[in-house]
Amino acid sequence: MMKTMNYTSSKWSRDAIDDVVVDEETLARRRRRKRIIIAVVAVAALVLAAIFFMGGSGEKAVAPGANEGQQLPAVTVIVPGRQDIPALISATGSLAARRDMQVGIAGEGGQVERVLVEPGQWVAAGQTLAIINRQVQTQEAAQLAAQIEVTRADQRLAQNELDRAQALVARGFVSQADLDRKRAARDAATARVRVAEAQLGASRARIGRLSVRAPTAGLVLSRSVESGQVVGAGSGALFRIAAGGEMEVRARLSQADLTRLSAGVPATVTPVGATQGYQGTVWQVSPIIDPQSRQGEARVLVPYNRELRPGGFASVQIRAGSTSAPLLPESAVLTDDAGSYVMIVGRNNAVERRSVRVGSVTDRGVIVTGGLNGTERVVESAGAFLNPGERVRPERARPAARP
């Protein structure tokens, strides 16, 4: 019979010490269980370590350095080259009629009877725009016409008396002095006829000037007169007409840009709020520079269109020759306090920062006028997340499909 040996084990707690009695058989079972658990854990650890080292050595044997290449960040790069790009000058300006004709009263004026045109209508040269009451002037013309008949009657009488005197002078009934007096009377009567005719012509001309007429063919821009209004020489312009309907943009440009322009250079005009541009040409370059703003004016002629309203605002793109330079997408060009720059992939696929000088921005991209020769591998996008010296895995960008 197994002898049981008892002993006392002290168990510490926060408040008191309890005495626990454990037999020898229980202790032996616990020791065996602990040894088994330790052995199982050790075997599992050895197996895991063996698998790890065997797997690592196998990958290195198959593709040395493959893991390192796969862990490098992939970036898309482009080689821009150099392209012939139109040199564009961007500007803004106000729209106006090329020839803004101010039409007012040419004569003495009076009360307006009728206005025959409205803004937006096309008129021909000499077309009547408004009619002014002419009753008084008409009566005066009738009086002058009657006066002409009186003077013609006097002229006929003087001519008849002269003819009779010339017939009698040979017989001695009329002296030469009387004949001369009758001839002078005839000439005076003829002169009075001419004076009366000239007065009638002047009256009719004044009547004709009472009709406000278009000095040239074009588009009526504004009307400042109504029926019943009394107008005169001091009334100012009653109508404004754009000669030929031609419009222009008066673009404000710097002195440097003006030196690159000449008459006949093509331009595109886009009114504010419109999506369509209209083709025009520079027809005049300002010969002077404003000493305050250091700017001059380029006037761009545009054919008539309803979207081109005088007094409005428009943007202008003027073609001033062409230039050969790299062209980059806007996502590739970055800017900070030091200026514009791009990230390029250099030797050993290491990232480098390159400062660039940027020209104009077009629909196709950004023109780089300095800092690149076009053969570099430029990071297309996400360059701001790269650091100089960082190694990357470059991938060439696919060419864009042409429409």
54 pLDDT more than 70: no
Mean pLDDT over 25-43 rounds to 75
In this predicted structure, the answer to whether residue 205 has a pLDDT above a threshold of 70 is yes
Q: Which fold has domain 90-98+244-322?
A: Elongation Factor Tu (Ef-tu); domain 3 (2.40.30)
Query: Confidence band (pLDDT; 50, 70, 90) for 117?
Result: very high
Q: What is the pLDDT of residues 213-238, one digit of tens each?
A: 899 999 999 998 888 888 887 788 89
CA dist 274 and 269 (Å) reads 10
pLDDT at 301: 92
Quick one: what percent of the chain has pLDDT higher than 70?
A: 87
Q: Give me the chain's average pLDDT, please.
A: 81
Flag whether pLDDT at 11 surpasses 80.
no
Distance of alpha carbon 26 from alpha carbon 2, whole angstroms: 14
Name residues whose C-beta falls within 8 Å of residue 348's C-beta, 6 or more positions apart in sequence.
391
| Coil/strand/helix, residue 318 | strand
- Average pLDDT (146-170) is 85
Quick one: tokens of 40? 């199982």
Average pLDDT over residues 276-290: 89
**Whether the predicted model's global pTM rises above the 0.85 cut:** no
pLDDT of residue 116: 92
How far is residue 338's CA from residue 263's CA, in Å, rounded to a whole number? 39
Would you list the domain boundaries of the chain?
Answer: 17-71, 74-85+325-396, 90-98+244-322, 102-107+114-128+215-243, 134-209
Pick the CATH number of 74-85+325-396 from 3.40.50.300, 3.40.50.2000, 2.40.420.20, 3.40.190.10: 2.40.420.20
CATH of domain 134-209: 1.10.287
What mean pLDDT do residues 35-40 have?
Answer: 78
Measured CA to CA, the distance from residue 248 to residue 95 in angstroms comes to 6
Q: Is the pLDDT of residue 123 over 90?
A: yes
**Lowest mean pLDDT: which of 47-51, 111-115, 149-153, 297-301?**
47-51
What are the two backbone dihedrals, phi and then psi, of residue 185, each rounded to the nearest 5 degrees? -65, -40
Predicted local confidence at residue 400, as pLDDT: 52
State yes or no: pLDDT of 374 exceeds 70.
yes
- Indicate whether 10 pLDDT > 60: no
Work out the average pLDDT over 303-313: 87
pLDDT top residue among 206 and 96: 96
How far apart are the C-alpha atoms of 212 and 104, rounded to whole Å? 7
Rounded to whole angstroms, the Cα distance separating 218 from 121 reads 9
Each as own residue / partner, the long-range contacts of residues 256-260 (CB below 8 Å, 24 or more positions apart, any chain) are: 257/89, 257/91, 257/320, 258/285, 258/286, 258/289, 258/296, 258/298, 260/87, 260/89, 260/320, 260/321
Give the model's pLDDT for residue 122: 93
